[in-house]
Structure formats: C-alpha cells, structure tokens
Amino acid sequence: MLPEADLARIYRSLRLIRRAEEETARIYPSDRIKSPVHLAIGQEAVATGICDPLRPEDVVAPTYRSHALYLAKGGSLRGMMAEMYGKATGVAAGKGGSMHLIDAARHVLGASAVVGTTIPLAVGYALALKREGKGRVAVALFGDGATEEGVFYESLNFASLHRLPVLFVCENNGFAIHTPLAKRWASEKLCDRAAGFGLPTTRIADGDVLAIRESAAGYVEKMRKRESGPAFMECLTYRWREHVGPAEDYDAGYRPHSDLEAWQKTDQVARIGGMLKAEARAKVDAAIEAEIADAVAFAEQSPWPDPKELTADVYA
C-alpha cells in the first residue's frame, strides 16, 4: 500500500475533478456557464494516474474533454471557471470556453475541439524537449475516437522513429459520441496497432488509478533517462454523463444503465477515499469545497470582456 501522503494527494486530484465537474453540472442549467461542457465524471482516474508521476515542467496536451487533465496537472480552477462563464479573467479571456482551456504556467497546452489535433502538438513538443535535453516529457491524452484519425498513426510513427519522450494515452470510454467501438473498429486490439509502430504498450482494463499511475511512472522514468522512446497506454474507462452537457442520457438507447452501475462499483474516488483515515479525508474534502466555492465566486464577480477585445488575438 502507498504511503498515506501519496494516497491523500491522489485522492485530492480525483475528488477535485469530480466535485468541480459536479458543480459545473449543477450551475449549467442556470445559463451562467456560457460554453458547452464535455464532462469527464467517471473518467478521473486516467488523468490523475497519468499526471501524478509528472513534474510541474512536463507538458500535457488535452482534448475538448479536458477539465480532468487540466486540473490534474495543476491548472487554475479560478481561470477554468471564469473561462466557462465567458469572463475576461478566464484562461482564454472568455473567448474559448470549456473546450479551449490552457495554462501555460502549468504546461497545459491549449485544448482543441477538433478530434485528434492535439496529438501531433504533443509530438512536436516532445521533439523540442528532446533537443532541450533536460529530461522533460510530453503526454498526449485523447479518446478512442481520436485513434481513427490518420494523424494519430502519423504521430506514433514519427515519435517512434525519432525516439521522442512522449507518452500516448488513450482514454477509451467505448464511445465516439453515441457510436460504440464494435461499430467503428475492425479489431479492438488497439495496443497491437500501436505496437506495430514499435512502441511498448500497456492496457489497463479496470480503471485502477494506482495501476495507471504505476505504468505511467515506469514509462516516464525511462524516457527521462533516454532509456526508451515513446510509449502507449490504453486505459478503459466510462463516461457517466452525456457526451456533451450536464445530464445523464441512459434513456437515449445507445447504452444500458447497467454499464454505469458496473463501473460505479469500482469508482476510484470512493475507493481511494476509503483508503484514507476519516479525518484526513474530511480535511481534503473541506479544502476542495472551499476552493470550488472560491472559483465560482471569482467567475461570478469577474467582469465581462470589453467589446473592444472582440477582434484581439483573433486571426484574420
């Protein structure tokens, strides 16, 4: 069993993501949040397990479903909340919304709504980090749908050829919007496809945050020492809410509620929380509630962007 301090840190990350997203879902129907939201409630273990072994100066490349990765890497909660509210104090000055989070100080690259597009950005960054020679690594996190883009395979090949320090992580939640893997993939052996490009691979099927962390830590350590090039992880997980928006969608007919119930039995927030002493857990929970309340108040009290800013930082 991990030392209590490690468990507390991992629990804090899992719980912060869960509660920040639950709060987002609670506020959403009021229309104060102006941006569409792709929630990762249920998927927290992937971002948390991957980011725990990372150093502050390592780089992560998120997707539009990026609250979890952004927060796990230490991104500003105030800046994220204000961004979703469309306020001038948001991380993209209120112009990007939930799908375009960024925190340059925490080395969270800009997210994108276009599926697969941040994978090559992580590879390009890894090339720069290799040349820099300080042992930093880049991580690309993406959904199973992104592996259907040609750029995914180009990225694997280029990174493997040049032995770049990049960890590719597929958060496989089984669906691209409403379409299941069985209707999209001729073979579900995703790790075999990655291995075909010469990458070591690991598949974690049960969402165990500690197993994800251990696997990521092993790969990252070898990359830092230049003992290996890129690596590939497939982490099975489950999106509890609808593809986009705050609600559940088990009445839509594309997946049964029993799947949710099965994943909820191994919920990592509850599991890791249960490994902590009650007092330690209560302390973490209270600190997180205060942090979220502060971020929401910050977003609500922040000013709207000045209309004169409308065309600033916009390419034309």
Ligand X SMILES: Cc1ncc(C[n+]2csc(CCOP(=O)(O)OP(=O)(O)O)c2C)c(N)n1
Given the rule CB under 6 A, which residues bind ligand X?
A: 65, 113-115, 143-146, 173, 175-177, 243
CB of 36 or CB of 196, closer to ligand X: 36
Q: How far is the CB of 61 from ligand X (least distance, A)?
A: 13
CB of 89 or CB of 118, closer to ligand X: 118
Q: How far is the CB of 76 from ligand X (least distance, A)?
A: 22
CB of 65 or CB of 67, closer to ligand X: 65
Q: How far is the CB of 159 from ligand X (least distance, A)?
A: 19
Between the CA of residue 181 and those of 171, 196, 212, 221, 241, what are the distances in Å? Answer: 13, 20, 22, 32, 18
Between the CA of residue 285 and those of 122, 133, 280, 296, what are the distances in Å? Answer: 33, 39, 9, 17
What span, in angstroms and rounded, lies between the C-alpha atoms of 151 and 165? 18
CB of 83 or CB of 144, closer to ligand X: 144
Angle, helices 209-224/44-51, rounded to nearest 10 degrees: 30
Q: How far is the CB of 75 from ligand X (least distance, A)?
A: 18
In the bound complex, which residue of the shown chain has the CB atom lying closest to ligand X? 143
CB of 65 or CB of 136, closer to ligand X: 65
Label residues 267-302 b or e (16+ Cβ within 10 Å = b). Answer: bbbebbbebbeeebbeebbeebeebbeebbebbeeb
Task: Choose among 9, 88, 41: nearest CA to 248.
Answer: 41
CB of 11 or CB of 152, closer to ligand X: 152
Q: How far is the CB of 183 from ligand X (least distance, A)?
A: 13
What span, in angstroms and rounded, lies between the C-alpha atoms of 68 and 72? 6
Write the DSSP symbol of residue 114. S
Q: How far is the CB of 226 from ligand X (least distance, A)?
A: 31
What span, in angstroms and rounded, lies between the C-alpha atoms of 307 and 174? 42
What span, in angstroms and rounded, lies between the C-alpha atoms of 82 and 32? 10
CB of 177 or CB of 314, closer to ligand X: 177
Structure tokens at 196: 């075909």
Q: How far is the CB of 142 from ligand X (least distance, A)?
A: 6
